[in-house]
Amino acid sequence: MLIEQPSLFLRWLYPLAYWRMAHNDHAVYLTFDDGPIPEVTPWVLDVLDHYQVKATFFMVGDNVRKNPETFEQVKAAGHRLGNHTFNHIGGLRHSVHKYMLNVEKANAYIRTDLFRPPHGWMKWGQYIGVLQHHYKVIMWDLVTRDYSTRLNGRDVLHNVQRYTRNGSIITFHDSLKSQDKLLYALPRSIEWLQQQGYAFKVFD
């Protein structure tokens, strides 16, 4: 649970970030980090289209640069776009200035007002800088851990079933390291969420 759901300390550290949406709304917000890549993202789009679900994709700018056709597929499908830096850099290893340059370099390709920091961490100065550049910082209420080599697809599905609640921002990854778990867990997670009566929303 310490990994799947953010600690109170993290929520306190970034108080203006979005960790969970309305608690009285029986809805969830699906998000995908680290794409777009042609090996995984188009399959995710097909699954979302099959279930008529919209999601938010937090994209790495360099992946957008290298895979413009996949990027355009996400846009054409009507999904929300988010910035995940240009090089998927961790904030703790870089100065505020270098971090913000990387964020803005990504946004030259993505053009969005949503931002999620890689690894879920950034220095306080970086956080303030992101806010001053008029981004909404979108964190998570549930990270599925589809990236973990210690979990399989059933474990990822179990995390969704165990931790989802009203307003949950749910994080998957359209990446190679998540692909095998995603193939099993994503369609089954969507089906389970639909059976529980959840609506699927994207950020305003």
Q: Which of 94, 146, 173, 174 is catalytic?
A: 173
For the beta carbon of residue 9, count every other beta carbon within 10 angstroms: 7
Q: Which tokens hold the place of 30?
A: 């699906």
Annotation marks residue 134 as catalytic: no
Q: Which tokens hold the place of 154?
A: 């059933």
Alpha-carbon distance of 115 to 107, in angstroms, equals: 10
Q: Which of 23, 33, 49, 174 is catalytic?
A: 33
Which residue, 9, 55, 29, is CA-closest to 140? 29
Q: Which tokens hold the place of 176?
A: 């190679």
Annotation marks residue 33 as catalytic: yes
Residues 6+ apart with CB under 8 A from 78: 54
Alpha-carbon distance of 129 to 109, in angstroms, equals: 19
Catalytic residues: 33, 173
